[in-house]
Amino acid sequence: MSENIGFISTRFTGTDGVSLESAKWAKVFWEDRHVSYWYAGLLDRSADISMCIPEAHFQHPDNAWIDRQLWGRKRRSPKLSRRINDLAEYLKLTLYEFVERFDLTVLVIENALTIPMHVPLGIAITEFLAETEMPAIAHHHDFYWERERFQNSATPDYLEMAFPPRVSRLQHVVINQAARESLAWRKGLPSVVIPNVLDFQNPPPPIDDYAADVREQIEMGPDGKMILQPTRIVPRKGIEHTITLLRRLKDRRCKLVISHQAGDEGEDYLAQISELAHDEGVDIRFFGDRVADLRQFDNQCRKIYVLEDLYPHADLVTFPSIYEGFGNAFLEAIYFRVPILVNRYEVFIRDIEPKGFKLPTINGFVNRKATSQVRWLLDNPDYRRQIVEHNYEVASKYFSYEVLRYGLQRLLRNINLRMD
């Protein structure tokens, strides 16, 4: 039976995890003859299959004002409560319009009932589901209790009500085992684990003309070894571990390339790692101003690349994160057949490592063993090819679109069973 599926979030645009994973879900739904439609405050989907409501974006001025009053305090004013409820009521009306306009049969809620970046939207969705009993799937990427900034708030009642809610005919999907356990413990809600995936049945295309000059633009030199850290410059990404690795390698061919910018968490960490790299004699290249969501040219007529343009040129990917909800950079390195070094964060230990990947790992510090393994990978092309092919096969088995397809078909069968 074909379904009209409505995806709902604060935004569907760019390369954030929610936008990327929802696009993969929609692709697999389409291959099974289900049609997807989109609702958000910021969209890059076609206008004939989407509904853009600016007030649904977490950065909309109305929500930004509400957000400033909610966190870091224990009491909220009557005015704040009215503003929250008024915006929620308006958004709920737009949800009714969205469902009616596209004759939707199932909703997929992408993180909007998970992390309270937009409290009125979470309330609106919860009330809509309670009023209509419409079948829905809540896809949870990272819960509010995992983020420090949401621990002190004037909104415990709304958090309990809507993040996530207990309503009938709403199925919950999480991306790792720890999230499944915490959701059951904190909310008493069952959930299904569907990991992040990539299309391993279709390998990436070869380097095209546009991306052929990436190494030249980074000034790698003919013998340079590109050590790519494909992360934002924030403390939890553990870039200092990569700097330590390059110091211990003592190989002047190795250049550390950071693909992203500092983002919205300040410049202090950027200054710290810049100083550390200088003191340790590590050649670090910040390439974030040349990487964006789309290929284009900047105002200096320089090429702007996408992250996928960088991976094929890398000799090693480093992923020394302290915490990750899943770790898309890990799968991307495997997909582009690049060896990767990983810091054994919790989700990696429980959900990824047992699958049988072969790769150097660290446990919070770079030791002699990890350094030797990386050096061997960099200097032995035959061994490198053997490792990346093995890892590609493992990922194809456990983190492919076929795994996602099985999970989504199971969720839709549950909906149909409940309707019978």
Task: List Cβ neighbours of 40 (8 Å cut-off, separation of 6 or more).
Answer: 7, 8, 9, 10, 11, 12, 13, 50, 52, 53, 56, 57
Query: Between the CA of residue 323 and those of 213, 343, 407, what are the distances in Å?
Result: 33, 9, 25
Spatial distance between the Cα atoms of 22 and 15, rounded to a whole number of angstroms: 11
- Spacing of C-alpha 40 from chain mean position: 17
What's the pLDDT score for residue 418? Answer: 59
pLDDT of residue 264: 54
Closest CA to 311 of 201, 197, 205, 234: 205
Per-residue model confidence (pLDDT) at position 149:
84
Angle made by CA atoms 203, 396, 339, in degrees to the nearest 5: 70
d(CA 104, CA 390): 42
Q: According to the model, what pLDDT value does residue 419 have?
A: 54
Residue 1: the pLDDT is 77
Residue whose C-alpha is closest to residue 87's, from 115, 47, 127, 51: 127
CATH fold match for the domains 4-197+401-419 and 214-398: yes
Give the integer Cα–Cα distance in Å for 14 and 78.
Answer: 36
State which amino acid sits at residue 169: R
| Closest to 112 (Cα-Cα) out of 163, 158, 67 | 163
Q: Is 123 helix (H, G, I), strand (E, B) or coil?
A: helix
**What topology does CATH give the domain 214-398?**
Rossmann fold (3.40.50)
pTM: 0.90
CA distance 394 to 340: 14
174 closest CA partner among 138, 140, 142: 140
| pLDDT tens per residue across span 355-395 | 999 999 999 999 999 999 999 999 999 999 999 999 999 99
- For residues 286-298, one letter each, b for 16 or more C-beta atoms within 10 angstroms of the residue's C-beta and e for the rest, the string is bbbebbeeeeeee
Pick the CATH number of 4-197+401-419 from 3.40.50.2020, 3.40.50.2000, 3.40.30.10, 3.40.50.261: 3.40.50.2000
Distance CA 102, CA 115 (A): 27
Residue 71, Cα to own-chain centre: how many angstroms? 24
pLDDT, residue 325, reads 85
Q: What is the CA radius of gyration of the chain?
A: 23
Cβ partners under 8 Å of residue 11, min gap 6: 18, 19, 40, 41, 42, 43, 57, 58
What's the pLDDT tens digit per position in 253-293?
999 999 988 765 558 899 999 999 999 999 999 999 999 88
The predicted pLDDT at position 415 comes to 86
Q: What is the mean pLDDT of the chain?
A: 94
**Residues 6 or more apart whose Cβ sits within 8 Å of residue 80:** 66, 69, 70, 154
Find, among 137, 148, 180, 4, the residue nearest to 72 by Cα.
148
Q: CB under 8 Å to 30, separation ≥6 — which residues?
A: 36
The structural domains of the chain, with segments of one domain joined by +, span 4-197+401-419, 214-398
* Ranges of the chain with pLDDT below 70: 263-266, 417-420
